[in-house]
Structure 1
Amino acid sequence: MAGSRAEKKEQTRQALLDRTIELVHDRSFGSLSLREVARGAGIVPTAFYRHFASMEDLGITLVEDSMRVLRRALREGRRDLAKSGMPIARESLAILQRHVHAERAKFQFLVREQHGGVAEVRRAIDTELRLFSRELAIDLARVPALAQWEADDLEVAADLIVSIMMTTVADLLDGDGRPATEDALIRRAEKQLVMVLLGMGEWRT
């Protein structure tokens, strides 16, 4: 019985997250009310607080869930880093593109709220992106050609790569979805990444 209650609670919690993603398809998170989110998940507003402390808490949880998708995409993009010596721009972007197509709503939420009006959600996204950059910097430090780099320089390079990836996500979401358009966006992003990677090869502190 206890297990059944726990399962039901988790299902309701997930329903709140899913409903929120649906509602922010063409709206900002800040425009949502607790009442409409609860109603969409099939519960009364007061029951919302059994799952989240506030709308901001729900938003932060949604950031964490959505960022797991982005983290998976970026990790896959650099999984052969040690073997290849440097990230492969085209391959990394192709992986990112597939994830954007598969989880479009979550990526739309992240891009829109990255500079949105709810400070707690905005800060949560910023924190997650900084963690991504640090993870990438650690991976870059394992590349023999970058062994002598200062930690600060590695983090700057990682910030540039993550920024290009996020801009590419936004461009893909804003595009018309046609293969030719997306191909052009990916080629442009590839050039940007290659320029960064080539510059890294020549950089001296």
Structure 2
Amino acid sequence: MSVTSRTPRSSDRPRRSSGGDGDRARRASARPADDRAPLVPEPGVPVAGASLTRQERKARTRQALLDATLERLEDQAFGAISLREVARSAGITPTAFYRHFESMEDLGLVLVDESFRALREMLRVRRAAATEPGDEIRAAVATLVEHVHGQRAHFRFIARERSGGTAPLRSAIRQEIRLFSSQLATDLARYPVLRERATADLQMIADLIVAAAVSAVEQLLDVPPGRPDLEDEIRGVAEDQLRLIVLGALQWRSAS
């Protein structure tokens, strides 16, 4: 009697359970790191991020990408940093990067915005406590030095990209600096001694002040560790320059 061989049908094969912990773990590990659902932990073993919502995990990964970029800016220009290495440092795949930023240039524009937004807020608080132009100068320089210490990587990024970055980044930085000048010109009009000045004059004064501040920041970034004397010198010169600008402005009369 002959026996006809046949290929086992799918119904003859043992079926895998669709709800087992092993299958869930395999499916979760196949997803990008920032998109994984938290697994059921073993008793007494906490799962990192298990209590975070999807939106919170996404925000955390986005910040990790920004932080990874800032770390590399200590030794590299922004244009030399690859998307792949930033994604790897943040613990995600290069494909998952695009869930947070359209490109590295898009990420750079966010860094520009972050760098200036924090400084604007600090200056706004200090300006609210100032009652005279001299107080404004001391508060502004103190805030600038404080912010350079706290956000050195951001400032180094701005200083490098302001002149040597891509066209979109240079344009974004110029726009932020112009915004600074415009806000300062509005603040200067609060003081009685400057209240009657033409808007163009106030804008020119503000432009000179911001240019002096930018120069001070670039010098502060070059101060080697352990040299507070050099930092004090830069701070003093910056205050003197700003006072000179203000005193000159009080005597200035535009031709128009």
Say whether the fold is shared (TM-score over 0.5).
yes
**Aligned counterpart for 2:194 among listed residues 129, 143, 146:** 146
Displacement of 1:69? 2.4
Tell me if 1:159 matches 2:207: yes
Letter in 2 for 1:95: T
Matched, 1:197 2:246: yes
* Structure 2, gaps ≥5 residues long: 1-36, 38-51
Q: 1:56: which partner in 2? A: 105
User: Whose Rg is larger?
Assistant: 2
Q: Which of these residues, 83, 96, 110, is aligned with residue 34 of structure 1?
A: 83
List, as ranges, runs of 4+ consecutive aligned residues in structure 1 with deviation greater than 6 Å: none
Residue aligning to 1:105: 153
Q: Distance in 2 between matches of 1:77 and 1:26?
A: 32
Which letter maps to 1:132?
A: F
TM-score, length-normalised on structure 1? 0.92
Shift in Å at residue 90 of structure 1? Answer: 3.0
My pick for the range that moved more, 27-36 or 87-96, is: 87-96
Query: 1:170-181 alignment to 2 at 5 Å?
Result: 170-177=218-225, 178-181=227-230
RMSD of aligned Cα (Å): 1.7
1:88 aligned onto 2:136: yes
Within 1, Cα distance between the matches of 2:59 and 2:120?
23
Q: CA deviation at 1:29?
A: 0.5
Looking at structure 1, the residues matched to 186 and 250 of structure 2 have their Cα atoms a distance apart, in angstroms, of 17
> In the alignment, residue 106 of structure 2 is paired with which amino acid?
D
Offset at 1:75?
A: 2.6
Contact 2:134 2:243 in 1 (8 A): no
2:206 maps to a residue whose letter is A
Q: Would the alpha carbon gap of residues 59 and 127 (structure 1) be closer, same or farther in structure 2, given more than 3 Å must change?
A: same
Aligned counterpart for 1:74 among listed residues 123, 132, 141:
123
- Identity within the alignment, %: 50
Deviation at residue 88 of structure 1 after TM alignment: 3.5
State the shift of 1:87 in Å. 4.9
SS of aligned partner of 2:53: helix
Which one has a larger percent helix, Structure 1 or Structure 2? 1
- Which residue of the partner structure matches residue 129 of structure 1? 177
List runs of 5+ in structure 1 lacking aligned partners.
Answer: none
Distance in 2 of aligned mates of 1:193 and 1:77: 16
Task: Tell which has more relative contact order, 1 or 2 (C-alpha 8 A, sep 6+).
Answer: 1
Take 1:88 and 1:185, find their aligned partners in 2: how far apart are those partners? 18
Q: Is the 8 A contact 1:100 1:107 kept in 2?
A: yes
Q: Do the aligned residues in 2 keep the contact of 1:21 with 1:105 (CA within 8 Å)?
A: yes
